[in-house]
Amino acid sequence: MVFGKEVTPEGRVTLVVVICLCLIGAAAYFFAGERIPRWGLHIGTVSALGIISVGAALEPGGSTILAVLYIWVIVYAALFFSPLATAVYVTAIAAAYAGVLDVGPAVDNRLLAWMAIFGTGAVTAAVVSGLVSLLRIDGRKDPLTGLANRRSWDERLDEELARAKRAATVFSVAMIDLDEFKMVNDTHGHAAGDQLLRQLATTWQGMVREGGDFLARLGGDEFALLTPGIDEAGILRLTDRFNAAAPDGVTFSLGTATWDGTGTAGDLMRRADQAMYQKKVEHRTPTSRRRSVRGQRDDDLSRSGHSDGAHARVGRGTHGDRPTLRHL
């Protein structure tokens, strides 16, 4: 007797197999942790759906009592899967419960019982998926500037790398680090430093291609730019515009890298970061200062470079309509 009802030998074997599979899956989840692939999560979810359906079909009254556990499957799906996948699970549960009501113990009002589970599950899925979507958006946005944060950047870079591999296309990344940003905070206060970061983020975001280029704040005074379909020359032209729009006296060091068809996202970031760090060191060295090609005075801090994917621009002080730190 299982769940209060006599079960045939074949039914016992089936039930034992299902339970063992679920226990094995639970043990695998426990020991594997975050190493479980996405498809592994789906297998566990489907297994849970199956064991609930079997139990609800075997126990008298279980079609309405154990069926409540379907809601937990829906909550799990909404937390860990996409809204589309969650909708698929809600549909699968609706179909499974309809089958349980058809072959399981008699229920006074099958339609009402089915609508109660399906309706509750659908509403739960919508609410939980909506809350998760809001949390995911907030969790991928830098609260100070409104740009994408490091987590969002890493995800987008992996996506773009996979797309470039499939389509054999090119893309470039740039690492941007503000020069002497600590001095801005020390001299003008942290409020001015925050305002500068917001101003640069807003200005630069308006210069990138909407729906194509991707600008993120990685943390502190460090930004990153991703340009799909653009080679090194193209991303340098765009960052030149970044420089031209920066407030007077605000400078940054820049390193770029273009995907050459090999390597990982981490390799690409290391190349850009090393190029940026090289320029950062040069900016701190007096001998690295060069006269501006625009004919500015020797005391204007203006320099440019095009070497090994590294490039840098320093804010010039000759644009009359350009804001300065004093205006922040």
Given 142, 179, 213, 221, the catalytic residue: 221
300 as an active site residue: the answer is no
Q: Residue 251 to residues 106, 130, 180, 305: CA-CA distances in angstroms?
A: 76, 41, 8, 14
Active site residues: 221
